[in-house]
Amino acid sequence: MKELMLGNKAVARGLYEAGCKVISSYPGTPSTEITEEAAAYNEIYCEWAPNEKVALEVAHGATLGGVRAACAMKHVGLNVAADPLFTISYQGLNAGLVVCVADDPGMHSSQNEQDSRHYAIAAKLPMLEPSDSEESRVFVKKAFEMSEKFNTPVLLKMVTRVAHSQSIVDTEERVEPDRVPYVKDPAKVMMTLNSRNAHIRVEERTKALIEYAESTELNRVEMGEDTSVGIITDSTSYQYAREVLGDKVSILKLGMINPLPEKLIKDFAQKVDKVIVLEELDPIIENHCKQLGIKVAGKDTFPICGEFSQNLVRKCLGMKEPEHITIEENVPARPPVMCAGCPHRGIFYILKKKKCMVYGDIGCYTLGAVAPLNAMDLNVCMGASCSGLHGFNKAIGEEAESNSVGVIGDSTFIHSGMTGITDISYNMSNSTVIILDNSITGMTGHQQNPTTGKNLRGEPAGKVDLEALCRALGFNRVRVVDPYDLKAVEEAVTEELAAKEPSIIISRRPCVMIKGTVHKPPISVDESKCVGCKQCMSIGCPAIAVKDKKAHIDPTLCIGCKVCSQMCKFEAI
């Protein structure tokens, strides 16, 4: 049957058709929908793991149990999973393992723009790159075949445009392989001689994979009438090449991006007068071609930063852009903003008021860094707020300890924050960490996590008690506040910063966007009392505006949190 599918949904369909039995992932845009869509199939056990490292280890364990398994993550999540990934490459499997990683060129929802192809090269693993939804489905199935044929995990690399665009998919029936019996093998213990022998096997496997890359249908030559220029490309760049240059151009489309073929590329280069490599981000294909002695144009023609587009390709190739309607330059910008009634807003308002140094983290609360709050100093990666704050305070001492905090979400805390606060309690810096518990994984679209008491399918599950956990990790000072109560928040922050020992503040209030949340009636402004001081505007709530020098609250957006009313000295709200 034919169906219009999102790229990520097509990956999930491929996992289903390939007979995958276990999927463990951590949500991260643009990869999240892979696991969410796979969970719709009852034949596949799906779970949210605490982080990507755990997810990969669970999936690998499932393959040792003899069933096909997968995990999914975004590119920065692969950093977290890198530790087991490199050793699993040596150790091997018992059934197929596919690791789905979604890169984010253009950084639409990410803190960096790394290119995951480097991981495939460094870990000596095969990597496939689909360019549309149908290839996403087919490549997953091919990845499982390769995984079992070559006894290796296979990386499936998506990018935002493929993951979040739709195209036609030809669905097929599920074929579930028989479970492979587990057999004890002492050689799988990765130590000393076993590891040395495993490395030799990996290098031999790479040679075999290069031979495979020469003839696999994953890589294909599309010779056109025009041989003056040949394009070597991959992923979504292939789509741009076809749209811009049409059917007459000659293209070598690489679907297997590691290891890259050698003879296939040389033969293609000999058939054209000039070779241009079209690839987003780093010059992986370009450098490979140059190592083969082929003269190519690449990053001297196309940028190394940012996401490509049809018009960018045209511009870089010196082609005229098609006529199109342009948006007026005076259209106002619409930056991202926390939702009306967001429980994080009160916390950041108080932190700004107290002029605290705020070490931020990764989540929707990162928006505390933008105007008008401007309350977050920096962020690095999942969990860095806790350990980074500890290092900052150790460097400066009491002066910093009394005026700095770390902020981290509940899901991020479980992901990577626990080890950071353990370092704080163990090595005794007077650091204050605020856990922003909004009862959901908000930034990636409301996924459950170990603190919510529900699993991926919304069923009852084990629930982490944050207060008990923090105390068990060595904190004597653990307190819970309602972020809608500004007075209580300010008291808590003031007292914990003054304390001469490590402390945890848990800001607990569910995300306002959680389905089924009951809100209070919207509040309004008494214009006779409003003096137009704009103090209520300082929290950046999208429900509040100023009209005719008076504050105005949009009743279609306001959820009655009353944070703004606590700020108004004139009792106008």
For 415, phi then psi, to 5°, come to -60, -55
pLDDT score of 321? 80
Query: In a 10 Å sphere around its CB, with 0-12 CB exposed, 13-18 middle and 19+ buried, how is residue 121 labelled?
Result: middle
In the DSSP assignment, the letter for residue 378 is B
Q: How far apart are CA 5 and CA 131, in angstroms?
A: 13
pLDDT band at 6 (very low <50, low <70, confident <90, very high): very high
Full-prediction pTM beyond 0.85?
yes
Q: How far apart are CA 107 and CA 183, in angstroms?
A: 44
* Beta pairing class for 432-437 and 477-481: unpaired
Nearest to 343 by CA among 464, 470, 442, 412: 442
Residue 254 scores a pLDDT above 80: yes
Phi-psi region of 205 (alpha: psi -120 to 50; beta: other; left: phi over 0): alpha
pLDDT in tens, 218-235: 999 999 999 999 999 999
Nearest to 308 by CA among 375, 374, 231: 231
Nearest to 143 by CA among 212, 55, 245: 212
pLDDT score of 330? 76
For 242, phi then psi, to 5°, come to -65, -40
Residue 515 scores a pLDDT above 90: no
pLDDT band at 36 (very low <50, low <70, confident <90, very high): very high
Q: How far apart are CA 280 and CA 235, in angstroms?
A: 9
pLDDT score of 517? 87
Q: How far apart are the first and last CA of the chain?
A: 57
Average pLDDT, the chain: 95
pLDDT in tens, 371-380: 999 999 999 9
* Beta pairing class for 219-222 and 249-254: antiparallel
> 269: which residues sit within 8 A by CB, 6+ positions away?
230, 275, 289, 294, 296
Nearest to 386 by CA among 438, 422, 346: 422
Bridge partners, residue 507, by sequence: 436, 481
> 379: which residues sit within 8 A by CB, 6+ positions away?
111, 359, 360, 361, 362, 366, 369, 385
Better pLDDT: 322 or 274: 274
Nearest to 421 by CA among 404, 411, 435: 435
Q: Residue 429 is which amino acid?
A: S
* Beta pairing class for 544-547 and 550-553: antiparallel
pLDDT band at 216 (very low <50, low <70, confident <90, very high): very high
Task: Find out whether 234 and 130 touch, Cβ atoms under 8 Å.
Answer: no
Other C-beta atoms closer than 10 Å to the C-beta of 540 total: 20
Read off the pLDDT of each residue in 106-113 and give the average, rounded to a whole number. 93
Structure tokens at 202: 């990996």
pLDDT band at 518 (very low <50, low <70, confident <90, very high): confident
Read off the pLDDT of each residue in 176-190 and give the average, rounded to a whole number. 95
